[in-house]
Structure 1
Amino acid sequence: MKVLIAEDDTVTRRILQLGLNRLGHECLPTSDGREAWETFLEDPDIEVVISDRMMPGMDGIELCCRVRRTPRESYTYFIFITALSERDELLEGFEAGADDYLTKPLDQQQLRARLLTASRVTELHGRLYEQKRQLERLNRELWASARQDPLTRLGNRLRLREDLDHLLSNVDRYGHGYCAMLCDIDNFKDYNDYYGHLAGDKVLQRVGDTIASSLRRGDRAYRYGGEEFLITLPEQTLETAATVAERLRKSVENLGIVHEARDGQKLVTISIGLSELNPQSDKSAENMLREADQALYEAKRRGKNCIMVSSVHRL
């Protein structure tokens, strides 16, 4: 282990250093509390601190309190050195956060026993910390998977509801506007009936990947339901969002996925409905989504593979 010594008495410090080296530990000797504190801050690998209680500048109690207040990934085992006459004052040291103590004159067997205990305690804390990290990682993964569509890896309805609340707060607080883009794969039921659901799932995945690759920073995409996808576009007007929508429409068409069950164009395409929510309007997110859905319906009615905005002007 790496052991920091804080001891102003030269003889005691030297005895400790020799004993630690003999036991195979790495030793960092310092001559007072302030030097020990600076060394502790500079070296995150220190596992044990052995400190005299009374030192000039910064005493051992203050050093122990500072060590305990300093967050670290690993636990630091703190041992006080005390004279037999000072044993009644040990309680103050333990209240400050000390784990153990050594008495003067120093004994090699006593030192070895204290360090064996320190090794077990720090190892236990290390295992607990690693378990905590793994648990936190699993919790993050569970949180993310609960908000992700398993097929397309886009956000699901739960994530959409949470993100809409955040976007609405930005509209109210900062005056930010945004657009919604509702996309639907044209004649998808016919594709499923003709090619089978496994092939249909692959189409959903490819369209989802195409949508994900088209997003700017801040944009969010969700599987809205079935073959429908929703994209939120912060800081966009209907005009600029229409440019994004047209680029996405072409990207899906350019995938070249054959759709033999479809009349006319024998490719998989999407239709898109656009709507806008800005600080000047008093409509809700639900109204915005309803307008996007109505625009999408109009795009379907007008021949599919096209874009409509909520004002029902074809683009």
Structure 2
Amino acid sequence: MPSLTQLPAEMRQQILLLVLPDTHRVESAVPIQFIQLFHINQRLRLDMVAVAGIWTPIHYISSPCTLTARSPRTRGWNLNRICLDLFSTSFLGRIVNRYPNAHHPNYLHPELIALWNNAVPFLPKDVEEVWLGVTPAPAEKRVHHPTWQECGPRWIDVFVHNDHASQRFLGGHIQDVAALVKKIDDHYEGCVSIKLSGRLSVKSAFFVEAIGQEVEKDLEFVGRWVSNEEAPGAAVSSQLLCPMARKKRRCGTHLLAWLGNVAWSKEAGDAYAGLADQGFDRMLMEDIKGIAKLCDGEGMIVLLPGNILRRAFQHRVAADLGLKTVEVSEGSDRHVVVRR
């Protein structure tokens, strides 16, 4: 069997390309894989010279300052595809501002989009695709829960699915993001493909559609949608996987951590989304934990009375966990009883 260095040069280079990442932040150092491949042996070093010319990852640009700097990091790169991460440097406190009557400047970032607008003339030439990252969260909150650093539950899915991020924040940025799309399109004289990217809740589909209507083009979303049925699992993960880390700064596993791997039904997800948007997310978590404890024991559990939507959620959670339910009593005392 031939070794890597005995293969034809073109085949070797294609294999080397597979080792390199698909994305790269221009503010960061050269990827470690890139450097390691250059140091293997003389033949591969020669291959890497060719690979460097054909490697075209999505180059992420996290701040307008990266473009407008006196010596921008975008020089010298093969920047065929770039992604402007619009809200990477946003302030979390604005997005989660919970005062419903607050003025737009209190929970939006018009000045941030304005900076991106000012940076458009500094965009690199010879670009074929421009992605606009519209994940409604600052970069440092997209991996780790803000309360602890040693583990990373899917807190970001819970965050982007909540109304303050998925609807209010993004809904307030339709006009200025659409204006940015138009300016980028004009800058490249309509010769580049512009797409939206990032991590969005399905409740933010209106945002993508509205941007397309404003610019009179069908904009493709190439990111990841967070569905209603994924939201309960994300909430469970962020609540149960590391309960000790908040105080002790170390990871701890909850006895109900297995709930994070449950495939929740669409009905459970829809009910969760409707109630969580009304501020009942903690109450729903108590329902989930109470029902789940019955999976490891015998008998039954009597849940607290609730409205028809909460009872529907309780029924679906129990069904997803393989348990049986029945409703008893009438009126405001009507509640769900769960049995194995």
What range is the shorter-chain TM-score in? under 0.3
Which structure would you say has the larger Rg? 1
RCO higher in 1 or 2 (8 Å CA, sep ≥ 6)?
1
Q: Higher strand share goes to which structure?
A: 1
Q: What is the TM-score when the length of structure 2 is the normalising length? A: 0.21
Q: What is the TM-score when the length of structure 1 is the normalising length? A: 0.22
